């Protein structure tokens, strides 16, 4: 790779990872991502974690997405290099911008499948997985990980993990908490282990050539800007989902795009064509609108908006008129 191509690849990867919305099971589905893309054009969006088994052997189309969702990263769950390589190739052919390997989820279900956070203890296997994927695709292959697992939580352990993967990827999204593989629920693993942002900052200092994005506990624009002084990117999860109006500020304040942001009411109305199209394809209104419930948080009528949608969007035949009636509560 010559110098100029290397610079182009670095800058593209940097821009992709400067700000992203985390992959969240049962939340960041295609309806959620389409809505988030209305709110922000620059943010890198992630799919929910999709297992290799689902893609290769499942009955549904687990790689389906709307072209409007770009830039989009597919997060894969798995530990078989051959299967991961096949899925990565399929994803590239479908048009995904990036592939991410899940080495951070601590749930029992994920561990039983030998993927997620338990893979931190098998760095050589992770390296083979990433290498196999990278050999098959030209798009970036990245790793989302924790700072440690169980009692393997020293900075030296984290560095050894990174060192093992260095030949195969240059981008790590690091959740700044360790994961307990037993004794804590996935929810508790997002809250109980203390955040250690300094360890992620140190990682960037020690590996300046890598793209390091920080994840965990970030809730405000000011916090994002603060972290970006020390790392290349920030990933936000639940705050972006529960208070999606945050995303309307990202393009201007994080990416420096000089363009007016969309307001909440306009964002919902911009969703109308998508709703109508999805309903004709058999989707249910509540499956789409559940991702929008927090858009009016702090506004007068927000409670009534949420209640009306919750009580009516699931009904047979519910359409745009339900959304319009719910909007009437907002002042």
Per-residue pLDDT at 69: 97
Per-residue pLDDT at 5: 34
Q: What percent of the chain has pLDDT over 70?
A: 94
Question: Is CATH 1.10.20.10 the classification given to domain 264-327?
Answer: no
Which is the CATH superfamily of the domain at 3-253?
A: Aldolase class I (3.20.20.70)
pLDDT tens string 197-212: 999 999 999 999 999 9
List every span in the chain annotated with CATH 3.20.20.70.
3-253
* Residue 72 and residue 97 in contact, taking contact as beta carbons nearer than 8 Å: yes
pLDDT at 71 over 80: yes
Q: Which two structure tokens, joined as six digits, stand for 327?
A: 């909007």
pLDDT at 224 over 60: yes
Q: Give the pLDDT mean for 30-47.
A: 98
| Catalytic machinery residues | 105
pLDDT tens string 142-164: 999 999 998 999 999 999 999 99
Q: For residue 287, with 0-12 CB atoms within 10 Å meaning exposed, 13-18 middle and 19 or more buried, which class applies?
A: middle
Per-residue pLDDT at 33: 98
Using 50, 70 and 90 to split pLDDT, how confident is the model at 41? very high
pLDDT at 8 over 70: no
Q: What percent of the chain has pLDDT over 90?
A: 84
* Residue 120 and residue 113 in contact, taking contact as beta carbons nearer than 8 Å: no
Per-residue pLDDT at 212: 98
List every span in the chain annotated with CATH 1.20.120.1460.
264-327
pLDDT tens string 172-205: 999 999 988 877 777 787 777 899 999 999 999 9
Q: Mean of the per-residue pLDDT values for the chain? A: 92
pLDDT tens string 236-282: 999 999 999 999 999 999 999 998 999 999 999 999 999 999 999 99
Distance CA(294)–CA(244), nearest Å, equals 6
């Amino acid at each position: 790779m010559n110098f100029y191509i290397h610079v182009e690849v670095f800058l593209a990867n940097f821009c992709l990872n400067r700000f992203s919305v985390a992959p969240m099971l049962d939340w960041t589905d295609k309806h959620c991502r389409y809505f988030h893309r209305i709110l922000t054009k620059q943010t890198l969006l992630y799919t929910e974690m999709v297992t290799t088994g689902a893609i290769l052997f499942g009955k549904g189309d687990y790689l389906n997405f709307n072209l409007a969702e770009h830039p989009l990263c597919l997060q894969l769950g798995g530990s078989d290099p051959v299967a991961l390589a096949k899925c990565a190739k399929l994803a590239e052919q479908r048009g995904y911008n990036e592939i991410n390997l899940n080495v951070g989820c601590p749930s029992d279900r994920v561990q039983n499948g030998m993927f997620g956070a338990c893979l931190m203890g098998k760095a050589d296997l992770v390296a083979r997985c990433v290498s196999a994927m990278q050999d098959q695709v030209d798009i970036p292959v990245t790793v989302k990980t924790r700072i440690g697992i169980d009692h393997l939580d020293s900075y030296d352990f984290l560095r050894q993990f990174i060192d093992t993967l260095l030949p195969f990827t240059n981008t790590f999204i690091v959740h700044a908490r360790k994961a307990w593989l037993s004794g804590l629920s996935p929810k508790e693993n997002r809250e109980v282990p203390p955040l250690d942002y300094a360890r992620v900052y140190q990682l960037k200092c020690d590996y300046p050539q890598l793209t390091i994005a920080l994840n965990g506990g970030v809730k405000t624009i000011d916090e994002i800007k603060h972290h970006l002084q020390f790392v290349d990117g920030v990933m936000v999860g639940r705050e972006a989902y529960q208070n999606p109006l945050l995303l309307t500020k990202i393009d201007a304040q994080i990416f420096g795009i000089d363009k007016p942001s969309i307001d909440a009411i306009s964002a919902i109305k911009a969703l109308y064509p998508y709703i109508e199209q999805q309903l004709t394809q058999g989707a249910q209104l509540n499956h789409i609108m559940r991702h929008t419930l927090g858009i009016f948080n702090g506004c007068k009528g927000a409670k009534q908006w949420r209640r009306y949608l919750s009580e009516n969007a699931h009904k047979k035949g519910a359409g745009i008129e339900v959304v319009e009636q719910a909007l009437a509560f907002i002042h």
